[in-house]
């Protein structure tokens, strides 16, 4: 009697498993698309980007996949409905920049914002100095504002190669910042 009960239970469990399977499968197909870190990565798989509508995809030879687009919406920097179309690769000033190792324009940003922006372009470490020549340390990056940058925007940078000259907020920016 005991054995029979066990078998019945086993059959019940199997039945539940089988019935549950289609649900599991459909859940798998509804999983949101993979989020790529950069457009370089995304474009290695989808050469012309991922569009949110089929019309946009057709027009731009991009791949139409709404859930994939949604997962990578941050990479659609010009917000034209295609993640990582060609225009998204040219993003000298905005956030979510490509890690292209190009110096962004960081004039008049706080040191903190400027460093974040440079990191956004793929370079972790940038140097800074007191533009007044007094050699003060920039202990709190948020209190300093960049009035001179090296190199110029668009130039290639590497770790430590960017130099930001800054003054304390409230000091003269020598006409650089309004
Ligand atoms: Ca775009």
| Domain ranges, ordered by start, for the chain | 39-89, 111-168
Sorting pLDDT into bands at 50, 70 and 90, what band is 79?
confident
52 C-alpha vs ligand 1 centroid, how far in Å?
10
pLDDT in tens, 20-31: 555 444 444 456
How far is Cα 49 from Cα 51, in angstroms, rounded to an integer? 7
The alpha carbon of 99 is separated from its chain's Cα centroid by a whole number of angstroms, namely 9
83 C-alpha vs ligand 1 centroid, how far in Å?
5
43 C-alpha vs ligand 1 centroid, how far in Å?
12
Sorting pLDDT into bands at 50, 70 and 90, what band is 88?
confident
* 4: its two tokens: 């029979």
Q: Which residues are bridge partners to 102 per DSSP?
A: 156
What does the pLDDT read at residue 90? Answer: 58
Any residues with CB less than 8 A from the CB of 16 and at least 6 apart, and which?
A: none
78 C-alpha vs ligand 1 centroid, how far in Å?
5
150 C-alpha vs ligand 1 centroid, how far in Å?
29
58 C-alpha vs ligand 1 centroid, how far in Å?
14
pTM: 0.50
Contact 141, 115 (CB under 8 A): yes
pLDDT in tens, 153-173: 999 999 999 999 999 999 999
How far is Cα 109 from Cα 175, in angstroms, rounded to an integer? 14
86 C-alpha vs ligand 1 centroid, how far in Å?
7
């Amino acid at each position: 009697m005991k054995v029979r009960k066990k078998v019945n239970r086993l059959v019940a469990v199997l039945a539940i498993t089988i019935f549950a399977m289609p649900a599991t499968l459909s859940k798998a197909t509804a999983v949101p698309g993979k989020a790529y870190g950069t457009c370089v990565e995304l474009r290695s798989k989808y050469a012309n980007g991922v569009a949110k509508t089929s019309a946009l995809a057709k027009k731009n030879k991009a791949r139409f996949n709404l859930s994939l687009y949604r997962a990578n919406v941050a990479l659609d920097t010009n917000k034209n409905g295609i993640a990582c179309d060609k225009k998204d690769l040219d993003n000298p000033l905005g956030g979510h920049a490509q890690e292209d190792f190009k110096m962004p324009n960081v004039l008049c940003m706080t040191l903190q914002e400027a460093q974040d922006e440079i990191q956004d372009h793929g370079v972790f470490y940038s140097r800074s100095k007191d533009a007044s020549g007094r050699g003060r340390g920039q202990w709190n990056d948020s209190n300093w504002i960049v009035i001179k940058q090296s190199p110029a925007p668009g130039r290639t940078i590497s770790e430590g190669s960017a130099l930001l000259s800054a003054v304390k907020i409230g000091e003269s920016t020598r006409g650089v910042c309004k």
